[in-house]
Amino acid sequence: MAALPYADADSSLRALAGRAEGFGRFAVGGLHGPLYCVTTLADALLPPHYHLFLILLEPDLLAGLDTVLEFKYCGDRISGVLNFEWEILIIQEMMGLDHFVMVVVKRNHFGLFFEVSGTIHLSSYLNVSSYKTIDGRGRQIKLTGKGLRLKDCEHVIICNLKFEGGRGHDVDGIQIKPNSRHIWIDRCSLRDYDDGLIDITRQSTDITVSRCHFAQHDKTMLIGADPSHIGDRCIRVTIHHCFFDGTRQRHPRLRFGKVHLYNNYTRNWGIYAVCASVESQIFSQCNIYEAGQKKKTFEYYTEKAADKQEAKSGLIRSEGDLFLNGAQSCLLNGIGEECVFHASEYYPIWTMEAASDSLRAVLQVCTGWQSVPRPQDQVTIA
């Protein structure tokens, strides 16, 4: 009988920390901070108890900020990160003085849990900063309208939430860009957004997506922005034990980076199942691909990286995959498959079994949001 990994991950609220398999295995979320329990969805995801600091800057130091910070100007405002721990809110010139005041906020570590179920209507992206766990275990929480944005952050865990009905240009369910790392997305249900369900781009890396259910969508998961973003060569993502349920394409579509797919079930796609674009490497291991009308499983798109003269596609290595209902792998046999990475080069163990009918049955019922009880830990009422 097939079984999913993480058998004891629900033993406590903090048990998810550092437990992901694959490239996102170091994600700890809000492990080292307090646990907050949300009792009303009106302000459910407002970050509690941020600490503000005022820093006096001399002009010479201000001029040198670009050597120690990553930031963007917008009028008299500046936003960015310092060692992923400090977020700059504003830099303001002091009236009559040759100095500046910088207001920064220290990013708190915390876990966010829910006492109530319901729908959160987002009118704009909700920005998630570093060292956060957003955990829907024990309740049914749906986000609609917009999605979550993980920008310039690290160590984020998102667990057991629903995302549905995102509207607007460039609106994804979960948007991870730029420069974010150590992320784990587990047991989420995602459907019907105007852009992607999960997009991972612009040098975001070391991410695991596990036990998620994707449905009613076109461009499901983009990894790697476009051929001009050559910094995306650093991207590394693991996708395992997920169910791509009739979504049209991009399970995922990858540019530049490395993706390990294992024990996923993809069925009834509309164009292709998995696509390798410019310079990418995909290791597809013991997955189930069940075709509908379209039979082509693996697709290769040729694109030219901004710093190269010749256009290239990506590479796909298939090992132990199961192709059903006439699904055709369409692998480019003999063309660089031996150059595709092996997961053992990056992490020593992962929970995997042979692709089978029993695995397919389990993935149809045990992926996405799950009605599991919330572990009984001591929490603070937010």
Q: Which two tokens stand for residue 279?
A: 């310079």
Distance set, CA 382 to CA 30, 42, 174, 218, 359 (Å): 15, 12, 24, 37, 40
Distance CA 192, CA 80 (A): 31
CB 238 within 8 A of CB 341: no
Total residue length of the chain: 382
Q: Which of 137, 202, 211, 250 is catalytic?
A: 250
Helix (H) or strand (E) holding 363: helix 357-365
Write out the DSSP string of 80-101: EEETTTEEEEEEEEPTTSS-EE
Q: Given the structure tokens 């020593």, which residue do they identify? A: 348
The residue type of 132 is: K
- Backbone phi, then psi, for 183, in 5-degree steps? -120, 140
Q: Which two tokens stand for residue 199?
A: 């997009």
Q: Is residue 250 annotated as a catalytic residue, yes or no? A: yes
Q: Which residues contact 357 (CB under 8 A, 6 or more apart)?
A: none
Sheet-wide strand order for 213-215: 118-121, 141-145, 162-166, 189-193, 213-215, 243-245, 265-267, 288-290, 322-324
Q: Given the structure tokens 């910088």, which residue do they identify? A: 102
Distance CA 57, CA 80 (A): 17
Helix (H, G, I), strand (E, B) or coil at 358: helix
Distance CA 155, CA 172 (A): 20
Catalytic center residues: 250
